[in-house]
């Protein structure tokens, strides 16, 4: 199963350069890396990234993240994936730009 991380372009660039990341500022503050499952993506993008346009959607295989990945109750009582360790670049399945259209973010075909 794929899970997703939305990153701002500078965060993605820093991740690629360093080869690992502890996440965005919200992740650092919370002590874990926030992800979304496919059905949660549109709401996550709208709620936390509003009108931001220079975003990158990064996909990860949940099974490859190991026991440090926990599914925990979050927004609206839904279970969200949270990672309690650094991400490494080799764990990225794919990355794609997440542009902003007139009606919100435009997700790659087949993701949501």
44-48: average pLDDT: 94
Give the global pTM: 0.95
How many Å apart are CA 94 and CA 49, to the nearest integer?
20
Contacts of 37 (CB under 8 A, 6+ apart): 1, 3, 4, 80, 81
Domains belonging to the chain, first-starting first, are 2-100 (3.20.170.20)
- Taking only the tens place, the pLDDT of each residue in 50-108 is 999 999 999 999 999 999 999 999 878 889 999 999 999 999 999 999 999 999 999 99
* Cβ atoms of residues 46 and 105 within 8 Å: yes
Q: Mean per-residue pLDDT for 12-30?
A: 97
The Cα–Cα gap between 42 and 102 comes to 14
pLDDT-derived band at 29, boundaries 50, 70, 90: very high
8 A C-beta contact, residue 11 and residue 5: no
């Amino acid at each position: 199963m794929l899970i997703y991380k939305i990153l701002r372009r500078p965060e993605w660039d820093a991740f690629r350069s360093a080869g690992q990341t502890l996440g965005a500022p919200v992740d650092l503050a919370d002590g874990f890396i926030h992800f979304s499952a496919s059905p949660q993506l549109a709401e996550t993008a709208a709620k936390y990234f509003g009108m931001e346009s220079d975003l990158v959607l990064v996909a990860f295989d949940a099974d490859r993240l190991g026991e440090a990945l926990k599914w925990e109750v979050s927004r609206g009582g839904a279970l969200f994936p949270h990672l309690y360790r650094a991400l490494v670049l080799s764990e990225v399945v794919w990355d794609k730009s997440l542009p902003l259209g007139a009606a919100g973010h435009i997700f790659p075909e087949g993701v949501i």
